[in-house]
Amino acid sequence: MKSVGVVVEYNPFHNGHLYHIEQTRKHTNADCIVAVMSGNFLQRGEPALLSKWYRTKMALQGGADIVIELPYAFATQKAEIFANGSISILDAIGCSEMCFGSEHGTIIDFNKTVSYMIENEETFNIKIKNTVKQGYSYPKAASLAYYELEGQESFLDLSRPNNILGYHYVKAIKDQQSSMKPTTIQRTGAGYHDVELPPENIASATSIRKALLEEEVSLETIKQFVPVTTSNELKKYLSEFQLLHSWEDYFSLLKYKLMTLTAKDLENLYEMEEGLENRLISHISNSHTFEEFMKKIKTKRYTWTRLQRACCHILTHTTKQQMSTVKDNPKATYLRLLGMTVTGQRYLKTVKKDLSLPLVANLSSYNDPLLELDKKAANTYSMIFPEPIRSKVLKLEYSTPPIRYNEENVN
């Protein structure tokens, strides 16, 4: 069986994601689609709109055959570490190809750019350092350094978010000496950062979340942009838990942490660099919402995403020491199975004995430092609920077996 990997967040699963899976299957002739999916907290430092289990169901209903969780240690990181963790999982589970969506849409230019940048890595890093010293954020500095290096002959627009991730996927495959072949599908419809719903039926996840969170959770508003299965799972989640998660729900917890920890305490937490802890402490007491707080602390040097990730690590109390492993060796150490179709189950049976990493289906049966971070993230994610709902949410985390989805017998 041919397995092809995708890296996803599905926050929530929408028509663009459905298109990506359908095109991946069509262009690669995949028998089995393996989705590596972020868990409770995401790459931009945000809590997932709804739990990993509901998003897993959306993924399986939308065409994925296997869903593996991307550990917190990779899921809440800059593009390079995020990509390395994701690729290591797809490689370990035996994918022969991986397919990502991009604004560019042509894989040959990703390969050219990665080769060029590897050849000029030393010069590139010097240019980044010099640009950062001028007060630019790291992502902006990297983009400027890249164009200064390549000039008018640049192969790829590395100011576009999906192109950036795609570049790092291709580079991770090279760095890890994986035999996996990268390919790309051109994104269609709304842009990644678009905040308004478009007239077409493909909208950005950003605009869908905005509509759900700011328009009194009107599912009718986003109905044309998501599969029926996504609408159904959103309805079920709202019925069961009475909310969709956003940073505002966690702001009081963040405020408590920042008003009780000292600057010295914060220094030990991941992403706390260059005196950022002092800036956070100085603005927290007179901030009444998370958005207000973010607007006060944002600067030219610190992007919104970088600051959200820092806040995320404060919330989960993730230390530099705990993250040092993935900085030194950014590869996964286990495969946590969240769900599978009948096809996915058949594929796993054929490759299980050849997997290079342990397949974890039950949290109580496996110990790993990275898994401990996942548990902390799950505990934190549940803290906004009152009892007994919180206990129910945690029980789902620790006792839910992998979801088995039979597309021919949908409950």
**42 carries a ligand binding annotation:** no
Residue 40, marked binder: no
**10 appears as a binding residue in the annotation:** yes
Annotated binding residue 19: yes
Bridge partners (DSSP) listed for residue 66: 34, 340
Does 162 carry a binding-site annotation?
yes
283 assigned to a ligand binding site: no
Q: Is 11 annotated as a binding residue?
A: yes
199 known member of a binding site: no
16 is in an annotated binding site: yes
State yes or no: 250 annotated in a binding site.
no
Any binding-site annotation on 132? no
Q: Would the annotation count 63 as a binding residue?
A: no
334 appears as a binding residue in the annotation:
no
**Single-letter residue type at 379:** N
Query: Which residues sit in the known binding site?
Result: 7-20, 101, 162, 187
Query: Which residues sit in the known binding site for ATP?
Result: 7-20, 101, 162, 187
